[in-house]
C-alpha cells in the first residue's frame, strides 16, 4: 500500500493540453462576456470582466503547473499538491480581488459573476469534451495495428513504396 504513494508519473501529462484547450475556449467566450458586461456596467464592467477572465486563466495555468510538477515526484505529492494547491490558488484569487476591489475601474458584480461563471463554465465545457473523447485534447487514437490515422507518414511499408516510385 505504501508503494502507491511513492509511485510517480513520467512523461508528459495532460494538464498542459487541457489548459491550452481551456484558453482557446476562453478566447471564444471572453469577448461576449466583456461586451455584455461593458454594455450593462460601462467601461468598469468591461475592465472588471477582462481582469476576472485573466485571473481565472492564470489560476488554471498555475493548477496545471503544480499538478504536472507534483506528479513527477510521487502520487502522495500529487494528492497533497491537489488539495493544498487548490487552497493556495483560491487564496491568490482572493488576494487578487481584494487588491483591486476599491479601485475606480472595478465593478464588483461583473467581477464576481465572471470569476464564478468562467471557472464553472470552462470546467464543465472541458469536462464534457474530455468525457466525450475519453482522452485529453491532443491525444489521437491509434489503430489496432499501432499506426496513427495518417499511414503515409507513419507506415513504413507505404514510405518504402512512395520512395521507390519517385
Confirm if 26 and 57 have CB atoms less than 8 A apart.
yes
Position 144 pLDDT exceeds 80 = no
Which cell goes with 166?
519517385
Confirm if 45 and 104 have CB atoms less than 8 A apart.
no
Give the span between the Cα atoms of 54 and 114, in whole angstroms.
Answer: 10
Confirm if 64 and 17 have CB atoms less than 8 A apart.
no
- The beta strand positions in 32-93, using DSSP E, are none
The confidence score (pLDDT) of residue 115 equals 96
Give the span between the Cα atoms of 164 and 166, in whole angstroms.
Answer: 6
Confirm if 110 and 41 have CB atoms less than 8 A apart.
yes
Grid cell 489560476 — which residue?
Answer: 59
Better pLDDT: 91 or 125: 91
Give the span between the Cα atoms of 38 and 34, in whole angstroms.
Answer: 6
Position 141 pLDDT exceeds 90 = no
Confirm if 102 and 111 have CB atoms less than 8 A apart.
no
Each domain of the chain, given as residue ranges in start order, spans: 14-132
Mean pLDDT of 88-94: 96
State the SS3 of 70-86.
HHCCCHHHHHHHHHHHH
Grid cell 484558453 — which residue?
Answer: 23
Give the span between the Cα atoms of 116 and 114, in whole angstroms.
Answer: 5
pTM summary value: 0.72
List the single range of 4-8, 49-53, 67-71, 159-163 with lowest mean pLDDT. 159-163
Q: From the centroid of its chain, how far is CA 108?
A: 25
Confirm if 75 and 6 have CB atoms less than 8 A apart.
yes
- The beta strand positions in the chain, using DSSP E, are none
What is the percent of the chain where pLDDT is above 90? 48
Better pLDDT: 55 or 148: 55
Q: What is the pLDDT of residues 30-65, one digit of tens each?
A: 999 999 999 999 999 999 999 999 999 999 999 989
Amino acid at each position: 500500500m505504501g508503494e502507491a504513494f511513492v509511485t510517480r508519473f513520467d512523461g508528459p501529462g495532460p494538464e498542459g493540453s487541457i489548459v491550452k484547450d481551456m484558453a482557446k475556449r476562453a478566447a471564444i467566450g471572453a469577448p461576449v462576456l466583456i461586451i455584455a458586461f461593458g454594455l450593462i456596467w460601462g467601461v468598469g464592467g468591461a475592465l472588471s470582466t477582462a481582469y476576472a477572465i485573466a485571473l481565472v486563466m492564470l489560476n488554471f495555468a498555475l493548477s496545471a503547473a503544480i499538478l504536472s510538477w507534483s506528479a513527477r515526484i510521487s502520487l502522495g505529492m500529487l494528492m497533497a499538491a491537489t488539495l493544498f494547491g487548490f487552497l493556495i490558488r483560491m487564496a491568490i484569487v482572493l488576494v487578487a480581488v481584494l487588491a483591486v476591489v476599491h479601485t475606480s475601474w472595478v465593478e464588483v458584480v461583473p467581477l464576481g459573476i465572471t470569476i464564478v461563471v468562467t471557472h464553472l463554465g470552462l470546467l464543465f465545457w472541458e469536462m464534457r469534451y474530455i468525457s466525450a473523447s475519453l482522452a485529453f485534447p491532443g491525444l489521437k487514437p491509434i489503430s489496432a495495428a499501432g499506426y496513427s490515422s495518417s499511414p503515409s507518414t507513419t507506415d513504413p511499408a507505404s514510405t518504402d513504396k512512395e520512395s521507390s516510385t519517385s
